Structure 1
Amino acid sequence: MATTTTANLGNSRTDEAFSIAKKCITLFGAIGVITLAVVVVMAATGHASTPFMWIRGIIFPALAPVLLRITARAAGGDYKALDRIRTVATVMPIAVIAVDLIPGICPPWYAVLQGLSALAVLPIAFLTRTKAVTTAIPKP
């Protein structure tokens, strides 16, 4: 069962934080779609593509709607959703960039695009820890 509160929901700072978070996730998804499209074109034109590139290229755009839903639930006062989006926004950029830095795992252009998409989520880690948000959705 979701724990909700209405302490400061509707506060302009809280609304703005979640609005920016949703824009960041949309950017994450858009860059993910661009990355997947480049992989498709590269493969169709005979260039090398690896299962890693395909799998991650599909997962990122598919993850964006899930993150948007979690963020919408957090914006509605669901503390568990807030905690999830905070965690994902903190861990994902680090994990993605760390994996992309493994030599030979993917071409540099792919690592750059994937890194940019993951970095698009990073501001959410900070936005969801602001005083306005933590006051609006206190830990149960």
Structure 2
Amino acid sequence: MTTTDAPRTQESFDTVKKCIKLYAMVSAITLGTVATLTFTNHQTTLFEWIRSTILLAISPLLHRLATQAATGTHSSLTRLQTLTTIMPIAIIAVDLIPNLCPTWYTTMQAISALPLIAVAVLTRKRARA
């Protein structure tokens, strides 16, 4: 039996996938809010559009990496660990730039980073097990 067959490991990967879905959901809400504000003649920026689109577009890749890692693909696990470690740092670092984004946008982006942090912790804990 490989370590990926262990029920506890599969439960961890199920949790990882749920976290990625939560990240995608928050990213979709953020993009939807940007779109709604734009169409109701509120001020939005091209930066907000591009960033929220890219962050949402990354979620299927993260989910695919998690699915492959759950089957024992070490390279997918490594990529998932790397992305979920770097992305929250990058998201929060950009949010700290003064006056770049409105408070609501910064808050939504910071909230989206939380599930990614959970994935980073869970996949590193799983790798040590």
How many residues align? The count is 129
Q: TM-score, normalised by structure 2?
A: 0.94
Q: 2:16 aligns with which of 16, 21, 24?
A: 21
Q: What whole-Å deviation, never above 9, does each CA across 1:20-43 have from its counterpart, x for those lacking one?
A: 100000000000110011001111
Q: What whole-Å deviation, never above 9, does each CA across 1:51-88 have from its counterpart, x for those lacking one?
A: 11000111122111111001111111111110011111
Q: What is the aligned partner in structure 2 of residue 80 from structure 1?
A: 75
Of residues 6-15 and 65-74 in structure 1, the stretch that sits farther from structure 2 once superposed is: 6-15
Q: What is the aligned partner in structure 1 of residue 114 from structure 2?
A: 119
In structure 2, give the amino acid aligned to 1:92: M
Question: Relative CO higher for 1 or 2, CA cutoff 8 Å, sep ≥ 6?
Answer: 1
Structure 1: which 5+ runs fail to align?
Answer: 1-5, 136-140
Structure 2: which 5+ runs fail to align?
Answer: none
Residue 114 of structure 2 corresponds to residue 99 of structure 1: no
Shift of 1:48: 0.9
Q: TM-score, normalised by structure 1?
A: 0.87
- Superposition misfits of 4+ residues, deviation over 6 angstroms: none
- Larger helix fraction of residues: 2
Q: Which has the larger radius of gyration?
A: 1
Q: What is the aligned partner in structure 2 of residue 138 from structure 1?
A: none
Q: What is the aligned partner in structure 2 of residue 34 from structure 1?
A: 29
Q: Which whole-Å CA distance do the structure 1 matches of 2:58 and 2:28 have between them?
A: 11
In structure 2, give the amino acid aligned to 1:62: A
Q: Identity over the aligned pairs, expressed in percent?
A: 43
In structure 2, give the amino acid aligned to 1:44: F
Alignment check: 8 A CA contact 1:14 1:133 kept: no
Q: SS at 1:129's partner residue?
A: helix
CA RMSD of aligned residues (A): 1.2
